Amino acid sequence: MKRIKMGCTTLSIPAMALGIMRMNQKSVPEAQVAIQAAYDAGINFIDSADIYGGGKSEEIFGQAFSQMHIKREEMFIQSKTGIVPGKRYDFSKEHILHSVDEILERMQLDYLDSLVLHRPDALMDPEEVAEAFDQLQAAGKVRFFGVSNFDTAQFKLLQSCLSQRLMFNQLQFSLKHTGMIDFGMHMNMVDKPSVDRDSQFLDYARLHKVTVQAWSPFQYGMFEGTFIDNDGFPKLNQELQKLADKYEVGKNAIAAAWILRHPANIQMLVGSMNPQHIRDSAKGAKIRLTRQEWYDLYLAAGNYLP
């Protein structure tokens, strides 16, 4: 498994993480198979959130992981908080502290390697978040911190009040969600791809050594479905198959290789609970697409160059 530097540190993390959003749909033995498949492929990074499955995903993970022969220190475990389902976003100190205690209990852990704030809260008080982070770190409950779906100004605002460096920003990125790179190639144009919806965060991340974590790497739309083997995307699947045949892997691996080919050292979140899909996706970390192959996939996905 390809390894990358985490944020501004010298710590090494895998270029892929296992997202456990759908683990609530699995039994404990099935969850163990998925975790083991990821671990055996070099993916020793877990990404979770307190809202996944209403908390059941973390409960299943906790039960599964506690019975496995993998040492806690061999696994980097991250969770997210801040979304109160159907009600609000909440970055209050009280909510953050309480959520972490509940996460640790569900996952049967003494600490999290990383806590990520899950989507921006319009009522965020950066000083209050800073107090929560300091308390969590001092108590040994969280080692590192990050955010999810923050634009550059939001990221800078929060960072200005923290004593810790933010390590991560989770952002949607895939062959069918390319806004972060479209606008740069359509600079000085007036077409739709020229619109910068992410305030140039990818460039900011490269300049300030922030690890971008790409979520929904095989999805189109928000959560509308996968583009892999989808009849709605014939040109893209034809190109994926062509390269899959060349590199002797599955289409998931090629779609993953496309993300990891970007020089920003992006970490990709694999959300599948299917051991075969996990193993195939992991193979993408060993493939370095040529520049032409990367652009061929970009164009086959329905994008165009000015």
Q: Which residues are catalytic?
A: 52
Give the separation between CA 124 and CA 96, rounded to whole angstroms. Answer: 12
Residues found in the chain: 306
**What are 126's two structure tokens?**
């950066």
**Cα 145 from chain centre:** 14
Q: Name the CA radius of gyration of the chain, rounded.
A: 19
Neighbouring CB atoms inside 10 A of 210's CB total 25
Per the DSSP assignment, residues forming a β-bridge with 144 are: 114
* Type of residue at 19: G
Nearest to 169 by CA among 211, 129, 197, 133: 211
- For strand 83-84 and strand 142-148, is the pairing parallel, antiparallel, or unpaired? unpaired
Cβ proximity of 168 and 7 under 8 Å: yes
Q: b/e map of 188-201 (b: 16 or more CB within 10 Å)?
A: eeeeebeebebeeb
Residue in the structure block whose two tokens are 């990221």:
155
- Among 201, 213, 265, smallest CA distance to 79 is for 213
> 């994926």: which residue's tokens?
240
CA distance 248 to 187: 37
Give the integer Cα–Cα distance in Å for 156 and 125.
Answer: 13
Q: Which amino acid is at 57?
A: S
